[in-house]
Structure 1
Amino acid sequence: MLEESLVLDGQTPLSLSFAPGDFLQVNAQVNQQIVARVIEWLAPQPEQKILDLFAGIGNFSLPIAAAGAKVHAVEGNPAMVARIAINAKHNELMVSGQQADLSDPGSVKQLLDEHADSDALVLDPPRSGGEAICQALARHPVAKVVYISCDPATLARDAAHLVHAGYRVKQVAVADMFLHTAHMETLVLFEADVD
């Protein structure tokens, strides 16, 4: 087992353990900036319920929980779901988690039905994007969606689904994760009226 420290301004450093083969961002400094921006946009409060989809080892889940929100982390890889639980326990945080196929519309519908009272959603999909989730959010809206993307084409496709469903783009940021290359991480904050 290996370990990485995640340090955000004003917070106690978080320790994330990981194993070879687990996904994590390669540029720790830029990752910390991305996590800080996600926290800023979400402004997590105690009693808020936030879904973290494609949660990995808890890169966003743990800092959001440390800020006080109730986090439910969902990941397709069962080993990483177990790692989220280990990381949450090690950092003395409460994060619930589950394994689910987030590319399957039926699984996504069931997940969003079960967590219909969520206040916000963090979406950090692989290059293939989060199309099933963005389509389902038309029928299961949440007030805020923070989408972190490594692929402009799938982000454009998924953003179109969200905008068509009534979400508005409120903030956009880019992060140069791979210095001296054309590859960027894009962060988008979408908001919807959920009255």
Structure 2
Amino acid sequence: MSTETVTIQKLGAQGDGIAQGADGPIYVPFTLPGESVAIARVKSQGTLMSIAAASPDRREPHCRHFGPDGVNGTCGGCTLQHYADAPYRAFKRQLVIDALRSKGLTPEVDDIIAAHSGERRKVVFAARKTEKGTLIGFNQAESHHIVAIEECPIASSGIMSQLPAITAVAAALAVNAEAFRISVLEMPSGLDLAVDDVKSLSDKQRRSAIEMVLTLRGIARVSVNGEILVEPAKPMIDFGGVQVSPPPGAFTQATKQAEDAMAELVTTHVGKAKRIADLFAGSGTFSLRLARIGRVHAVEGEAKPLAALDYAARNTQGLKPVTIERRDLFRRPLMKQELKVYDAVVFDPPRAGAEFQCKELARSQVKKIVAVSCNPLTLARDLALLTEGGYRITKVTPIDQFLWTSHVEVVVALEK
């Protein structure tokens, strides 16, 4: 390990400051462009020791657990709390621009739709049983060390006010000292806790945990490794006026504000389409809203979210017909011939993107496409396939859903 002073030239795609060393780039977390900083260096990784000259864009973090001086270590949840709002948002928008340019795409990119503190309705805690009690918090960056938290400015007040109850559930389910995860989703009916990576519970421990949960207020459901343990209240989430009960641990957008912004962009571009395919449909985030516009065919690889979507569609008045299909779109994309019946297609894949599906879409005559993505790099690859097939990008909107991180959502509208 060596100690040296470097100048940060820019931020990398992960939010680390990048300085140029004699033998290549050096990555230094918690720094900003233009800053002169003293670092302890191991190969290409630098640890911030002190700041000789700070950027005018540097500000005090919102949370006591952030940064090199965080209490009990550094929470790994946020990476950019020290960045002022305007340059932070410009950085995230630029990530989208740069990703598109890497594939030769130069459409106009809208200003980013901002995220704000207290909006996150879904967080994933790390937990572990210790000699002093149950430890709950977030993993330190690139580490299995759990940083115990007392506050979290990104999470909703509904989640943070229930931290004692969440800790009590964790304590009841901790079989040994191994770490496990608790995904917490805030719903109108209460918190949905999906606990994963715990050992099998004995019958006695199961009964004890159920009895304990039933004494708590504000807990709608607790599941363990995908199996519902107890459900004091039906967990329901609202997708544009349609009530859905998603399966334990199912994918949902992390904030309602971002979901609503995405949905508005999706439905606006689809317009008055009569036949719509929603690919990677999940539990119906977009499908159920689109069913107010036209007939929807929802395609999803997992059975349980698809069943939740189907049940909601069949039990909601005022929707156009919704059909469902369980299908692995990575292995079996909808083919050109199958796509010819649709006026519009919406796709919202995982981070890997939808390469094979986009190859088929590029060959199709679908008039309108909306691409929703959480990964600008795979999105750019997919958009390049579509533009090569004759599609024109008409609107690109970045959305900040994961506040103070380098993650950015994007909604792109295309026309044939």
After TM superposition, is the score higher than 0.5? yes
1:158 aligns with 2:385: no
1:31 to 259, 279, 282: 259
Equivalent position amino acid for 1:50 in 2? I
Q: Which residue of 1 aligns with 2:242?
A: 14
Q: Measured at CA, do residues 2 and 69 of structure 1 come closer, stay the same or move farther in structure 2, by a change above 3 Å?
A: same
| Shift in Å, 1:21 | 2.1
| Shift in Å, 1:109 | 4.3
* TM-score of the two chains, using structure 1 as the length reference: 0.87
1:98 to 325, 350, 358: 325
Q: Indicate the structure with greater strand content.
A: 2
How do residues 153-192 of structure 1 correspond to structure 2 at under 5 angstroms?
153-192=377-416
Q: Which residue of 1 aligns with 2:352?
A: 128
CA contact (8 A) 2:247 2:304 kept: no
How do residues 26-175 of structure 1 correspond to structure 2 at under 5 angstroms?
26-45=254-273, 48-66=274-292, 68-92=293-317, 93=319, 94-104=321-331, 107-110=332-335, 112-175=336-399
CA contact (8 A) 1:144 1:189 kept: yes
| In 2, Cα distance between equivalents of 1:146 and 1:63 | 14
| In 2, Cα distance between equivalents of 1:183 and 1:108 | 27
- Structure 1 regions of 5+ residues with no counterpart? 8-12
CA contact (8 A) 1:61 1:71 kept: yes
Q: Deviations 1:50-70 (Å, cap 9, x if unpaired)?
A: 00000000110101112x301
Equivalent position amino acid for 2:284 in 1? G
CA contact (8 A) 2:237 2:244 kept: yes
CA contact (8 A) 1:118 1:142 kept: yes
The aligned length equals 181
CA contact (8 A) 2:236 2:244 kept: yes
Equivalent position amino acid for 1:20 in 2? P
| Shift in Å, 1:180 | 1.9
| In 1, Cα distance between equivalents of 2:392 and 2:305 | 32
CA contact (8 A) 1:44 1:64 kept: no
| In 1, Cα distance between equivalents of 2:268 and 2:375 | 23
| In 2, Cα distance between equivalents of 1:100 and 1:32 | 26
| In 2, Cα distance between equivalents of 1:29 and 1:16 | 18
| Shift in Å, 1:139 | 2.1
| In 1, Cα distance between equivalents of 2:275 and 2:407 | 32
Q: Deviations 1:156-182 (Å, cap 9, x if unpaired)?
A: 110110011111101111111112222
Q: CA RMSD in A?
A: 1.4
Query: What SS does the corresponding residue of 1:21 show, helix, strand or coil?
Result: coil
* Structure with more relative contact order (C-alpha pairs < 8 Å, separation 6 or more): 1
| Shift in Å, 1:114 | 3.0
| In 1, Cα distance between equivalents of 2:339 and 2:365 | 11
CA contact (8 A) 1:121 1:145 kept: yes
| In 2, Cα distance between equivalents of 1:115 and 1:163 | 17
Equivalent position amino acid for 2:326 in 1? Q
| In 2, Cα distance between equivalents of 1:17 and 1:25 | 14
Equivalent position amino acid for 1:134 in 2? C
Larger Rg: 2
| In 2, Cα distance between equivalents of 1:42 and 1:109 | 19
CA contact (8 A) 2:300 2:325 kept: yes
Equivalent position amino acid for 1:78 in 2? A
Equivalent position amino acid for 1:39 in 2? T
Segment drifting more, 116-125 vs 15-24:
15-24
Query: What SS does the corresponding residue of 2:394 show, helix, strand or coil?
Result: strand
* TM-score of the two chains, using structure 2 as the length reference: 0.42
